[in-house]
Structure 1
Amino acid sequence: MSIEPGTTPAPAPAPGPSDAAAPAHGSRIHGCLLGGALGDSLGYAVEFDDISAIRARFGPAGLQEFSALDAGSPFSDDTQMTLYTADGLLEALEWANDGVAADLNACLWLAYLRWLGTQGVAVPTSAPFQPPRWIDGQEVLKHRRAPGNACLSGLATGEMGTVQRPVNPGSKGCGTVMRSAPFGLIPHLEPETVYKFSADAASLTHGHPAARQSAGVFSLVIHALSAGLGLREAAESALGHLHGGVLRKGEDPDADVVARLEAALRLAGDLPGTGGILSPENLVSELGEGWVAEEALAVALYAVLATAPETGAEPDTSAGAGAGEAHFRAAIPVAVNHSGDSDSTASIAGNILGAYYGEQCLPAGWLAALEAPEVIRGMASRLAAVTGS
């Protein structure tokens, strides 16, 4: 799908008197990208550890804080690819603003190919050449941080994967979900458009329906939050769209995607009044380890919804930074401390919370420990500027 001149998103409206406490859209963009990077960084420290090893290293409660990491923790390929997703979107919007129609998925493919080159993998000679952009000059993004095999192999083919001509047709790894938050940050798009952008981009590397459906649902969650919906309302709305019409003709909702996401909502909804959070063992038993797309999204959604203030009630953005920061500090450790893909599940949770509360929810001490925040802010500022935020 191309982005045509004159059809670029209108500027996000300024908060009116009735929603003055709601974060500005630019704050949501910064919060989403920075929040995802914080979750990614904390989780990356234990990504390949099971829960017994995490407890042995950090105590019974597991890893709760950046202060427990003496040497800090860098962000991983999750944040790298999220920023390259944002750059692909940014390029398409820049072309459109200049009056030139842009093929969004081609812009994203070229952005991901430039990311591939940062990972020590030769970009296929059959791929079109693209001049470097601002993001390509950021040295911190040129480290190899356990990138997903399907992301690497799908791009290394030199073929632009599509739904009709899939690469890695059997792969549904979480590499699609963890990079897809930026699609939900473009204001004033119809949900069907957000879903299509996200699902088509997922198909560049992963061919299984669960991979693109999970990515599309995640982008719809971010889109709904950016439009002012509450956390549970946004999750239910996104799942409703999956049932109700965003899929291509002839495609049914993947049964595993539906089952995992419905389980996450049910388990989080059962918590009010119980005062309990699933143990890491039960979390994995119920929702999975997060290595595949639908499990990563389910774990992240559960972590966010189950730790919401008022024992599961919708958090109130008007309560100020304190409530949002407390929620962020509570949710991210739930997404981190389990035997599974801790950086991806926590990255997705951080994206969700940052998009909901805006930048105000991010703990200052955590931001101080974050690797290269100026690079993430630089991309967020560029995306905010091109969307008029």
Structure 2
Amino acid sequence: MGATAGAVWGRVEQQDFRSRVRGTLLGAAVGDALGAPVEALTLPRIREAYGPEGLPDLAPAYGRRGAITDLTQLTLFTVDGLIRAQVRRDTGAWHPPTDLHRAYLRWAATQRDWGPDERRKDDGWLAREEWLYARRDPSPVCLLGFADGTMGTLDAPKNPGEAGAEAAARSAPFGLLVGWEPQLVFQLAVECAAQTHGHPTAYLTAGSYAVVVHALARGESMDAAVQKALVLLAARPGHQPVTEALQQALAAVRTGPPSPALVEELADPGTADRLLAVAVYCALVGEDVRQGLCLSVNHSGPSKAAGALTGGLLGALHGETALPPAWLAELEGRPTLLVLADDFALEMTQGPALHSPNGAVPGWLARYPRG
């Protein structure tokens, strides 16, 4: 693992990488879908509705079981943006934050328009997926961040007071850039988070989460992955809340059996750093993926973001085969998720063969235009 774009990947490496890419994207989506029905409920209300153990399974939201929300929509467009950034690299006009911003603007169009506009030839295939035009309570912070087409930067971030977890919850794909150095993964996730969430707690949480996913996708342990994030955080102004949240998550693991009360404590007050702590804790203490995900959504905070963050970690750690098959069978948009995951894995391992300056596959450039 850790091969660069120009390196030779062995078959076993490619299969492992594809499994972790699929696991990360499907895991985040399943966690999002699991948390969606209880997003607005306190823990007492969750128990009143689903029993003393809380929500144990997928439940209806938006008229069906397994429905994803805006968090998964944005994660898909993050992947799309990363693939297109790699494709554009051949042109010499390479600035990944700009390519990601363009992708997020395509997502914003899905929240305004009735359906795909076939006249926009440069939109690529993902923006033509009609099911993505459903509005699933999109975050006002994200809608505002992408409303005027101006890209937020670290020097001039959008919504500088916003410390929520929506930006972090779309950042798992940055961690799948396994050929990049961790500090570059951190920086890209931070810059892209600042396009909607300008508070240091929010964008540093996004960077930290991406680095943890990055280490897991390279085959490292959860503890080692968190330590890498802590090292990179230490050099960043405003890191203290995120650092303390990660340290509290690690300490909570040593306090006894998994506890909803501990999750409730870690999650409060629902900011990005706190939900990252929930995700790390639940990924560490869950006996399996199902238990870890259920633990992550049964609290009074933002359940869908906590579930998405946890699912991304567990998927990167264990790969797709560890995810509950019954949940995957009901997951909305699963075919699209799988195609995009496999395209991402293909781009990262075989990109030069798809669009080098000396030759290109026309079908690939139609799917991921350079424009």
Alignment TM class, shorter chain as reference: 0.7 to 0.9
Correspondence for 2:284 among 289, 296, 305 = 305
CA drift of 1:31 comes to 0.5
CA drift of 1:284 comes to 2.3
CA drift of 1:86 comes to 0.7
Q: What CA deviation, in whole Å up to 9, does each residue of 1:274-322 have, x standing for no partner?
A: 4x22224x422244253x2111211111111122x5xxxxxxxxxxxxx
CA contact (8 A) 1:30 1:359 kept: yes
* Mapped partners of 2:301, 2:201: distance in 1: 19
- 1:283 counterpart residue number: 263
Q: What CA deviation, in whole Å up to 9, does each residue of 1:321-346 have, x standing for no partner?
A: xxxxxx10110001111111111101
Q: Does 1:334 align with 2:295?
A: yes
Gaps of 5+ in 2: 115-119, 351-371
Q: CA RMSD in A?
A: 2.4
* Mapped partners of 2:127, 2:19: distance in 1: 24
CA drift of 1:261 comes to 1.4
Q: Give the TM-score normalised by structure 2.
A: 0.86
What secondary structure does 2:65 align onto?
A: coil
- Cα 1:227–1:339 change in 2 (3 A) is same
Gaps of 5+ in 1: 1-6, 123-128, 310-326
Query: What is the identity, as a one-letter code, of the residue corresponding to 1:255?
Result: Q
Q: Does 1:385 align with 2:346?
A: yes
- 2:125 counterpart residue number: 134
CA drift of 1:99 comes to 4.4
Q: Does 1:350 align with 2:311?
A: yes
TM alignment of 1:115-194, pairs within 5 A = 115-120=107-112, 131-194=122-185
- 1:32 counterpart residue number: 24
- 1:72 counterpart residue number: 65
- Cα 1:289–1:43 change in 2 (3 A) is farther
TM alignment of 1:171-250, pairs within 5 A = 171-243=162-234, 245=235, 247=236
Correspondence for 1:369 among 319, 324, 330 = 330
CA drift of 1:23 comes to 6.6
CA drift of 1:24 comes to 0.5
Q: What CA deviation, in whole Å up to 9, does each residue of 1:141-184 have, x standing for no partner?
A: 11111221211111113321101112211111111100000001
CA contact (8 A) 2:190 2:204 kept: yes
- 1:324 counterpart residue number: none
CA contact (8 A) 1:184 1:194 kept: yes
- Cα 1:166–1:71 change in 2 (3 A) is closer
* Mapped partners of 1:242, 1:14: distance in 2: 33
CA drift of 1:81 comes to 0.5
CA contact (8 A) 1:214 1:293 kept: yes
* Mapped partners of 1:89, 1:190: distance in 2: 16
Identity %: 35
CA drift of 1:8 comes to 6.6
* Mapped partners of 2:181, 2:47: distance in 1: 44
Q: What CA deviation, in whole Å up to 9, does each residue of 1:170-217 have, x standing for no partner?
A: 111111100000001012211111011100001111111111100000
- 1:4 counterpart residue number: none
* Mapped partners of 1:343, 1:10: distance in 2: 37
* Mapped partners of 1:294, 1:67: distance in 2: 27
